[in-house]
Amino acid sequence: MNRIVSAITALCIFTAPAFAWSDLDSMKLSVALGDVLASEKPCNLTYKQDAIAKFIDSKVPASDMDFTSSLDTQTQGRAFMLKEMSASSRTAHCRQIERVAKSYGFI
């Protein structure tokens, strides 16, 4: 019995992080990209659509069915928060967003 419990425990330990990490990676990417995309208009930026498509192709697994829903939620949430930012916060935010967008070839 102890061998079975040990085998099941080991299986859970070695396989669970693979699922958790892929979900976590997807969520982290949707949060970050949602921030960049929501900032386009408020920061007076214009993104290259083909660069966004290439970014998605290179970073998001084709089988990730939850990514777009999460991205939409993150983008809408960030757009709402941007409306409430102070001028100084927006300046700092937009400066870093511009730098990030340039680093990925979006602008």
Q: Where are the domains of the chain?
A: 23-103
Contact 37, 77 (CB under 8 A): no
Average pLDDT over residues 94-107: 98
Q: What does the pLDDT read at residue 23? A: 81
Q: What does the pLDDT read at residue 3? A: 52
Contact 38, 7 (CB under 8 A): no
Average pLDDT over residues 72-79: 95
What is residue 41's DSSP assignment? T
Q: What does the pLDDT read at residue 25? A: 87
Contact 60, 26 (CB under 8 A): yes
Average pLDDT over residues 16-27: 63
Task: Give CA angle at 73 (92, 23), nearest 5°.
Answer: 100
What are the angstrom distances between the C-alpha of 9 and each of 2, 14, 17, 21, 64? 10, 9, 13, 18, 27
Quote the percentage of the chain above a pLDDT of 90. 72
CA diameter of the chain = 64
Q: Which two tokens stand for residue 99?
A: 């730098």
Q: Looking up tokens 């990676």, which residue turns up?
A: 25
